[in-house]
Structure 1
Amino acid sequence: MTTPSDPDLPQQASLFFDAPPPAVIAGQPDRLHLRRIHAGLDGPGPGSPAVLMVHGAIANARTFYSERGKGLGPWLARRGYDVYVLDLRGRGASLPKIDRRARHGQTESIRDDLPAALAEIVRLRGESVALHLVAHSWGGVLLSSMLARRPDWAVRVRSSVYLGSKRSIRVWNWRRLYEIELFWNRAANLWLRRDGYLPAARLGMGADDETAKSLRQSQRWVRERGWVDGDDGFDYAAALRQGGLPPTLYLVGGNDPVRGHERDVRRFAAESGPHPHAIRLLARRGGLGRDYGHVDMLTHAQAEQEVYPLVLDWLRSHR
């Protein structure tokens, strides 16, 4: 599929949306959907950097793109990046869809899904490809956890950009009472008992659903000080204590009172061990034209002029 080119770019910047064969998770029947977005009929050049994009909870890959060429993924593709947008297991176009029979959680995303997606990119592009990571919200937590568990992948990543990512929530306000205490920690558990999973899309609470295991694991991390895996006890914070993460840009919404509050994002960066990083506030007091929220930092029309260039500058500075 092609889309009209960016008016500020030459005609050859038309986009192509490819669907490579599903990434196979070793020993599992699940298949991961990895949408590839690039500019040019012949695909990206051999030296083009690759970007893996990972969505957050109750979401899917459409966080980053639309078929009409909107979103951060197509925007980066028009600027020479070979973009791969992942649907985590059971979300989006990944199969099978989440239902009451699904038993996987965030441990499987960390241990299996993310390495499988990176391995597929390397298979398509070769061992020398320059890898970058971009994540929204809980996707940043999953990526940092994977890199802590898999230092062999961490050393291959040139840089990361996290938009609104935090692991735990300590800030207290009315929005927390509604979004976290009432919905995420209470109402969601009622739906688990009824349906066996969280039907967030049907409830209008998100773009996609969550398994019972994924919901319960994220609930624990949101409220606990320890960053420890609930399945095997792997201590992610301890693994990163001596460093290991690539240079990371943390983007914080100026109007994000609970799902990515500045204090919680800063604590996430601190508990991720010593690593080159920067924290940028997406707000008027940070020099931007508006105060961005948790979602509209990616979807607002003004984000193309103010937020997306910050991502691009960080990726370019670590090529």
Structure 2
Amino acid sequence: MTELIQESLFIDYTPTQKLHLRYIAQPDASGPAVFFMHGAVENGKIFYTHSNKGIAPFLARHGYRCYVADLCGRGESKPAINKGASYGQTEAICQEIPAFITHIQQHCGEFPAYWIAHSWGGVLFNSAFARFPEYIKSVKACAYFGSKRSLYNRHISKFIQGNLIWYWLAPKYAKKHGYLPAKKLKWGSDDETVKSHRQSMQWAKVRPWIDSDDGFDYAKALKDKALPPILHIAGIKDKALAQPIDIKKFMQESGVGIQQLNVYGRNKGHHHDYGHIDMLTHPQAQRDQFQDVLEWFEKYSS
């Protein structure tokens, strides 16, 4: 098996905060840089393990230089989210993503040409394209795993995970603790600030794609823009958080560029019926969607 290196890179984000990037590549690799963004109640570990499982090591074995982000307070970014943390998704879009990109450029000498996101990470990425349209020309292609903005599906599990937990219970826990202790509650692999939960909850409902901080209209900014080609990946067992109807609505509000939606499950000829998380963590993913991401990137390599 191809030898890989993993290294933690830390960014001095504020005088009291450090952002974490996990660099995964072959020794002396010089291939294109890939920028990874996790979703809500998550961190970058959705894309890799220290034993080199996951899509980041998979792409690294094919020569890519992979940079996996931990948003502020998540994963190995310091300090962890705690009571009173005041930042949210506006800061992630307007400050943290640019800080990650700048550090990637300093580390490898080039702009990250390929972007990969899971779940809410795709919303953050497209929001960054809206805020910083100069990024669009520098990105060759993207792949989004289970990314949607608003939930349109009416499956019973959506009402449990969305309406009951995210819209009703989560605000109560966030108010009680001063942040959302999602990891302790076993709702995810990491916590959320009150603001990040509130802002993502607003957008997950069928409402306009407008920033609650400054009124920036993301949908309006993207309406006539062609984003980099995006491969959207859906799991056939992902009934609550990213059904095809939810992803298609997100695609419709994300400009006029090339977008493709693939659904992964045994009845589609794949090796597993994938859900929202195991679309990235199941061992068979490297034979299915990981391989398709590799081909997608190669298709748009020139």
Give the TM-score range, shorter chain.
over 0.9
Distance 1:28 1:108, change over 3 A: farther
What SS does structure 2 have at the residue aligned with 1:302? helix
- In the alignment, which of 11, 21, 25 is matched to residue 23 of structure 1? 11
Partner-residue secondary structure (3-state), 2:80: coil
SS at match of 2:45: helix
Taking a change above 3 Å as real, the CA distance of residues 28 and 259 of structure 1, as seen in their structure-2 partners, is farther
Cα displacement (A) at 1:30: 2.0
Compute the displacement of 1:130 (Å): 5.4
Residue 67 in structure 1 maps to residue 54 in structure 2: no
Given that 1:155 and 1:244 are in contact with CA atoms closer than 8 Å, whether structure 2 keeps it comes out as no
**In structure 2, distance between residues paired with 1:195 and 1:130:** 37
Q: Which amino acid aligns with 1:76?
A: L
Count of residue pairs brought into register by the alignment: 301
CA contact 1:64–1:298 (8 Å) conserved in 2? yes
**RMSD value, Cα:** 1.2
- Per the alignment, residue 29 of structure 2 pairs with 44
Structure-1 residue corresponding to 2:151: 169
The DSSP-based 3-state class of the residue aligned with 1:230 is coil
The residue that corresponds to 1:118 in the other structure is 101
Distance 1:74 1:311 in 2: 13
Q: Does 1:32 align with 2:10?
A: no
Partner of 2:237: 255
Instruction: Supply the distance in 2 between the matched residues of 1:317 and 1:131 (Cα, whole angstroms).
Output: 13
Please point out which of 204, 210, 214 is paired with 2:196.
214
Question: Could you tell me how far apart the structure 2 residues matched to 1:96 and 1:150 are?
Answer: 27
Q: Distance in 2 between matches of 1:255 and 1:173?
A: 11
Superposed displacement of residue 214, structure 1:
0.4
Given that residues 32 and 88 in structure 1 are in contact (C-alpha distance below 8 angstroms), is that contact kept between their aligned partners in structure 2?
Answer: yes
1:151/1:28 CA distance change after superposition, 3 Å: farther
Q: Which runs of 5+ in 2 are unaligned?
A: none
Aligned equivalent of 1:9: none
| Cα distance in 2 for residues equivalent to 1:235 and 1:190 | 28
Contact kept? 2:39, 2:119, Cα under 8 Å: yes
Task: Among all aligned residue pairs of Structure 1 and Structure 2, give the percentage whose two residues are the same amino acid.
Answer: 41
Alignment of 1:131-280 (within 5 A): 131-280=113-262
TM-score of the superposition, structure 2-length normalised? Answer: 0.97
Contact 1:280 1:286 in 2 (8 A): no
**Which residue of the partner structure matches residue 8 of structure 1?**
none
Question: Which residue of 1 is the match for residue 39 of structure 2?
Answer: 56
Q: TM-score, structure 1 length as denominator?
A: 0.92
Match 2:285 to one of 303, 307, 315: 303
Take 1:225 and 1:191, find their aligned partners in 2: how far apart are those partners? 23
List, as ranges, runs of 4+ consecutive aligned residues in structure 1 with deviation greater than 3 Å. none
Q: Aligned partners of 2:112, 2:97: CA distance in 1, in Å? A: 17
Give the letter for the 2:113 counterpart.
Answer: L
Moved more, 158-167 or 174-183: 174-183
Match of 2:72 in 1: 89
Partner of 2:95, secondary structure, is: helix
**CA shift digits 1:268-318 (9 cap, x unpaired):** 011101011111111234321332110111111111111210111111111
Report the secondary structure of 1:314's partner residue.
Answer: helix
Q: Which amino acid aligns with 2:55?
A: L
| Separation (CA, whole Å) in 1 of partners of 2:133 and 2:281 | 32
State how far apart, in whole Å, the 1-side matches of 2:247 and 2:38 are.
17
For 1:24 and 1:148, locate their aligned partners in 2 and report how far apart those are by CA, in whole Å. 25
SS at match of 1:37: strand
> Per the alignment, in what secondary structure is the counterpart of residue 203 of structure 1?
coil
One-letter code aligned to 2:155: N
Q: Deviations over 1:114-142 (max 9, x none)?
A: 11111111111224x55110000000000
Could you report, residue by residue, the CA deviation over 1:225-273 in whole angstroms, capped at 9, with x for unpaired residues? 3101110011001001111411110011111112111100011011101
The 3-state SS of whatever aligns with 2:227 is coil
Deviation of 1:155 (Å): 1.6
CA distance in 1, matches of 2:38, 2:15: 21
Code of the residue aligned with 1:35 in structure 2: it is R
